[in-house]
Structure 1
């Protein structure tokens, strides 16, 4: 997850009385069978991975959590957590939850604090433009005004290439600038940009670039059996087309 997510998490923390808020029981697809409820730490809002809708935390991550819970024959309980407690492994180490599913990018530093499943999403860099921009790829951005969200890999990439960068604290403001011709294109993670392109007929994903940002489920160090269960579910939903369907539903990809 990009550094801007940490800024979002810290901002959300000002509205929380503690690092971890209460649990909200949510039934998984398989209902509440004999297994103990799967507790899932997340940090919302971070669409399309997790967001609140009608009082419930939903999104791409929560749909995957439902699949894991269903395969275990259990219900699911969502634990809203400060993202700092997730990327440090503290929420897992203190038993606040069984798994952390929060758009967490796998890094060497995080691997030292927790164990990760096989990746379930490759969050490539993407280039989003208006349909009539004439920009077909990253190579066309010289001289263009390029919008980026502060603290993200998109900002890093744009700065490294010397493009005319305009920074935005909020991703929605960045999209609005693109739609009102404030910038010519925006560069960011495909998860967010793909969702926006799917929602607007006037926008299109012009190109993607694999920068190695892989997102996975985290468990506490040494939780081998649980990790095997998670990986088994991820393999199943890859094979049966569920993962592809969820990508299309939540990300428009």
Structure 2
């Protein structure tokens, strides 16, 4: 998903401990300092911005990849980075930050975070500012519409002169624009779905895994219909500051090991749903 939040919200960072961390509970931090004991090294000489922590920047909520549940941040991305943290013998700490910083690498360059994990599409533009891990998720977009609209495809949107929505500065928005639409832009995936629910738009282009989770709710499934899947060739990656080769290697190793030993598939089924056809 190529997300960014519209409008700069400088210095907003909420701090969380993940469900996989040894310390339970929810921490909320004001300002822009990560605090703690200052920089340190994790196992294998991997530098970290806070001793004993692997600090992850994300932008909440974005289920099923990262979202709050029971006072902790959980999800597919969170679980994968917990594997990295375990290998490095540290604890993952999550900062909720404006998504625009992931595009520029701002929080990585400032030493606020070690990595960004936010269902982020790997693009050539972003590679200019950050280094990406190996891809960890093949993503597609989907069209979701109200049942009463009768919209099931983008052609229907055009034919019925329906109002289309998407998350601001995402690949979904870019795709819709490339097809000649001028979608209503929303700041977050939650805002996109709320816009659909409240009738601000008739249909939305949004990441398919988000739709999968949303339609598990019977009320949503009764009122909204999944339309066409849109293959955009997207792959998600975790990002680090350019040149941070040791951390990048640790992330890549955790992803590859998880795929090799079955952990990846287990987490996929837990957080996202059935494995894609042909994958076991």
TM-score (norm 2): 0.69
Deviation, structure 1 residue 222: 2.2
Aligned partner of 1:147 in structure 2 is 164
Q: Does 1:86 align with 2:107?
A: no
The corresponding residue for 1:167 is 184
The change in CA–CA distance for 1:88 and 1:161 in structure 2 (over 3 A counts) is closer
Partner of 1:229: helix, strand, or coil? Answer: helix
- Write the distance in 1 (CA, Å) between the matches of 2:118 and 2:82: 14
Cα distance in 2 for partners of 1:157, 1:221 equals 28
Q: Give the number of equivalent residue pairs.
A: 242
**Which of 180, 201, 216 matches 2:221?**
201
C-alpha separation between the residues in 1 aligned to 2:193 and 2:100? Answer: 27
The equivalent of 2:123 in structure 1 is 107
Give a deviation string over 1:108-157, Cα, whole Å, max 9, x none. Answer: 23212221101112332112245787666555544242532253433343
Cα pair distance change 1:99/1:209, threshold 3 Å: same
Query: What is the RMSD of the two structures over their aligned residues, measured on CA atoms?
Result: 3.4
> 5+ residue gaps in structure 1?
none
Return the alpha-carbon distance in structure 2 between the equivalents of residues 24 and 176 of structure 1: 25
Equivalent in the alignment of 2:69: 53
Q: How far apart are 1:77 and its partner, in Å?
A: 2.0
CA contact (8 A) 2:138 2:235 kept: yes
Aligned equivalent of 2:255: 234
SS in 1 for 2:118: coil
Query: 1:176-207 deviations in whole A, cap 9, x for unaligned?
Result: 56557776543222232222123343345333
Question: How far, CA to CA, are the matches of 2:213 and 2:56 in structure 1?
Answer: 23
Whether the 8 Å contact between 1:28 and 1:74 is mirrored in structure 2 is no
Deviation at 1:69, TM superposition (A): 1.4
Shift of 1:27: 6.6
Distance (Å, rounded) in 1 between the aligned partners of 2:138 and 2:84: 19
Distance 1:213 1:50 in 2: 18
Q: What runs of 5+ residues in structure 2 fail to find an aligned partner?
A: 24-41, 44-50, 275-280
Query: How many angstroms apart in 2 are the aligned matches of 1:73 and 1:101?
Result: 19
**1:138–1:252: structure 2 CA closer, same or farther, 3 Å change rule?**
farther
Could you say if the C-alpha distance between residues 218 and 166 of structure 1 is closer, same or farther in structure 2, counting changes exceeding 3 Å?
Answer: closer
Aligned to 1:7: 6
What is the CA–CA distance in structure 2 between the aligned matches of 1:173 and 1:83, rounded to whole Å?
14
Distance in 2 of aligned mates of 1:125 and 1:110: 19
SS at match of 2:90: coil
Distance verdict in 2 for CA 1:77–1:95, change over 3 Å: same
- The change in CA–CA distance for 1:99 and 1:183 in structure 2 (over 3 A counts) is closer
Q: CA deviation at 1:218?
A: 1.1
Name the SS of the counterpart of 1:119 in structure 2. Answer: coil
